[in-house]
Structure 1
Amino acid sequence: MAIADIARKLEDSFNRRGTVKRVEKGWRPSIIGFTGYGSVTSLHVLGRVVMADPNSKSLFKPLRLPPSAHTVLGTVQEAFEQAQKLSDTAQRGWRQFFTTQVGFLPVTIRAGNKVISTKTDRSGYIDVLVLDHGLEPGWHEVTIEAAAAEPIIAKVLIVRPEARRGMVSDIDDTVMITWLPRMVLAAWNSWVRHTNTRKPVPGMAKFYRELLDDAPDAPVFYLSTGAWNTLPTLDIFLTLNGFPTGPLLLTDWGPTPTSVFRSGQEHKKTQLRNLIITFPDIEWYLIGDDGQHDPLIFDELAREHPRHIAGIAIRQLNPVEQVLSHGMTEAIEDRRSVDDEARHGVPIIYGADGYELLSSLNDQNNRPQTPKN
């Protein structure tokens, strides 16, 4: 039997025993709604079901941003103030990982004019594609119901058909400074640190705002190899530090049919291709860092779909950050912007922070562009 099979069986056994014990203590399934996204024709509804004590506050609900965090600019200050209150009182995040997920539980999704019946996957996740939902562009609420659980409302973003630009950003080392070895980064960020102690990369929020200044309809997505358990505190971090609002596309750390742990690279590649399929008329800005494999992933996507990529921006980590990220003082992938642009025609800029990236962007806008293939 493969190691991945053993790991999967152990995880399933742990969850079954944990569910039984918690039911005996009076616990019930609790639904966590993630931020979904889609077009006017199709919608991804995302969430998870875990066991929770009905006599205490949910581990996630107190940390979720209010609906005003996802609306128009007139309510941004309200969202900021609410996020600050939540951050000031946020419990340490280690409890987020000590959960018992509820697999194969019957679930009902009510989105627009559609009602979809499905089940959670073996890890308790909900990822449902709703077609012809009838929702107009903008932020909406959908209802997620599950057996023996209280229904919840989840936010979803319907992108305007007129949108022609969008942005996908990495999180760790791209918008958030970590200063920790990659091997302990997730545990530290999720189990120990408070939300208000995480530090943004200088100038990055300003860079994002100016990058999208002439594209008010542009959707923004945050793509990370971090686990879904970290979503509430990451959501608050982005709002508190002035980053554009958008869905977070995270992953699960658990075993897969072929591996003990999920591949972060494959997760990013899959989600990027999903966005291209869902929004075929949008050109994407891809933002990442050179501490891991973002340059290679972005280059590969640009070569496959040059007409769907508007530009690539890579934050360059300093030698200390490189060592913490992967153990060497130099980037994993060599800087090959000239060769890359010659291959696929997608402009690439580099910078140590948002201010340098913005300066590079302005310089690039003032020089002739290489046509895309």
Structure 2
Amino acid sequence: MLKKDPIQIITFRSYGTTNHLYVKGRAIEDENINHSKTGFFNLLWNSWKRFETDKVKNATLLLSLPDGRTIETITDAQGYFLIDTIFENLRPLTDEESWLHYTISFANKNIGRNIQLGNRFKGEILIPHLIANTTSDGAKFGIISDIDDTILHTGLTSRLKWQVVKNTIFKRAEKRIPLEGAAAFYKKLHDGKSGNECNPIFYVSHSPWNLYSYLEIFLEKNSFLKGPILLRDFVNPLAKIFTPKTSDNEKPQKQKEIINILKTYPKLPFILIGDSGEHDPDIYTEIAEAHPERILAIYLRNVNHKRKMLRVKGLFKDYETVPVLLVEDSEAAITHAKQNGFI
């Protein structure tokens, strides 16, 4: 009988408020992925292990806050867990950067499996310091940014998506090149016009949670400011064939996450940043139409795809609900942000 890998809890960087705890993660076997390995077969093996995850389903987990309060949750059939609940007085537990640090563990230490890290896994959620007026220090707006082809070249617009496969499987996260100027632009938005606003940044992507660690390393290595990273469940390519169709009104997961962020911070306006290559223009305009008073601007980075660019330019030709800027580089976005008092 083959020896099973030890189990672990992966926590996904999330967000909340002083009275709202929103925590996501997954309990899976530790596949011992070494992100520093190079070479064709090592990279291919690492990619296989990211998606060939062995989940720990129906496991009871115990989350502990720094002040000793605890809450239980149970993983679902895919090993995921979600804590979305009212929890009072969380603001005093945050650090100087507005992050709340927690630990989570398997409630049953005798689960019959070897547990990594002594059954103590760390996680963090962002609780932005919101302000009541425009003269106080604190967040005046939030930034919601796509990842794919907005700050990280993926090749989503390439024919048959071969560039996506090549970049994701055969390039280490540390070697992926960010789109020029994006990290510096986000830092300016985070600091705001006064230089000390601490405007929160949220990263959303259509990529699956299996790539969470990969994207986390990419953001850190390329000096992007820390923020919640919100992805989606991995979908089997054959799922659409064998799964009955649900409602035509079903929203993409990325859109649901953005709507949830707006609901979590009902008084905070946002800047949306994406690209013109896939679904961002449609998702962002639909959100802007529903919440025009909440969206300060939409920045869309141009992609090298003539047909898609023609469609997007037509979409925004007479659009006046919120300011929309199609940019070739970060400098154009910085100029517009300065003119509008964002930075």
What CA distance in whole angstroms lies between the structure 2 residues aligned with 1:313 and 1:259? 33
Query: Which residue type is aligned with residue 89 of structure 2?
Result: G
Query: Which residue type is aligned with residue 100 of structure 2?
Result: H
The aligned counterpart of 1:154 is: 123
What CA distance in whole angstroms lies between the structure 1 residues aligned with 2:298 and 2:57? 38
Question: Which of the numbers 289, 306, 322 marks the counterpart of 1:303?
Answer: 289
The aligned counterpart of 1:103 is: 57
The aligned counterpart of 2:199 is: 218
What CA distance in whole angstroms lies between the structure 1 residues aligned with 2:169 and 2:88? 38
Query: Which residue type is aligned with residue 221 of structure 2?
Result: L
Aligned residues: 303
SS of residue in 2 equivalent to 1:160: coil
- Is the 8 Å Cα contact of residues 186 and 225 (structure 2) preserved in structure 1? yes
- Is the 8 Å Cα contact of residues 111 and 133 (structure 1) preserved in structure 2? no
Q: Does 1:248 align with 2:226?
A: no
Q: Does 1:30 align with 2:16?
A: no
- Is the 8 Å Cα contact of residues 44 and 129 (structure 1) preserved in structure 2? yes
Distance 1:285 1:193, change over 3 A: same
Query: Which residue type is aligned with residue 290 of structure 1?
Result: S
Deviations 1:20-42 (A, max 9, x none): x7xx5143431111112111110
Deviations 1:120-142 (A, max 9, x none): 12211111113224322411211
**Structure 1 unaligned regions, length at least 5:** 1-20, 64-85, 323-327, 367-373
Question: Which of the numbers 134, 138, 146 marks the counterpart of 2:89?
Answer: 134
Distance 1:264 1:153, change over 3 A: farther
- Is the 8 Å Cα contact of residues 277 and 308 (structure 2) preserved in structure 1? no
Worse-superposed segment, 237-246 or 112-121: 112-121
Query: Which residue type is aligned with residue 159 of structure 1?
Result: P
TM-score in terms of structure 1 length: 0.72
SS of residue in 2 equivalent to 1:191: helix
- Is the 8 Å Cα contact of residues 186 and 224 (structure 2) preserved in structure 1? yes
- Is the 8 Å Cα contact of residues 87 and 236 (structure 1) preserved in structure 2? no
Question: Which of the numbers 264, 271, 275 marks the counterpart of 1:278?
Answer: 264
Query: Which residue type is aligned with residue 351 of structure 1?
Result: V
Question: Which of the numbers 306, 316, 331 marks the counterpart of 1:337?
Answer: 316
SS of residue in 1 equivalent to 2:318: helix
Query: Which residue type is aligned with residue 216 of structure 1?
Result: E
Task: Give the deviation of 1:252 after TM superposition.
Answer: 1.0
Aligned-residue CA RMSD (Å): 3.0
Task: Give the deviation of 1:87 after TM superposition.
Answer: 9.1
Query: Which residue type is aligned with residue 135 of structure 1?
Result: L
Query: Which residue type is aligned with residue 123 of structure 1?
Result: Q
What CA distance in whole angstroms lies between the structure 1 residues aligned with 2:270 and 2:86? 23
Query: Which residue type is aligned with residue 166 of structure 1?
Result: G
Q: Which has the higher helix share?
A: 1
Query: Which residue type is aligned with residue 38 of structure 1?
Result: G
Distance 1:297 1:178, change over 3 A: same
- Is the 8 Å Cα contact of residues 35 and 248 (structure 1) preserved in structure 2? yes
Distance 1:135 1:329, change over 3 A: closer
Deviations 1:292-349 (A, max 9, x none): 1111111111110112112110101123xx6xxxxx56455344435322xx2x2111
- Is the 8 Å Cα contact of residues 210 and 234 (structure 2) preserved in structure 1? no
- Is the 8 Å Cα contact of residues 28 and 53 (structure 2) preserved in structure 1? yes
What's the % identity of the aligned pairs?
Answer: 29
TM-score in terms of structure 2 length: 0.78
- Is the 8 Å Cα contact of residues 36 and 43 (structure 1) preserved in structure 2? no
Task: Give the deviation of 1:352 after TM superposition.
Answer: 1.3
Distance 1:46 1:97, change over 3 A: same
Distance 1:365 1:109, change over 3 A: closer
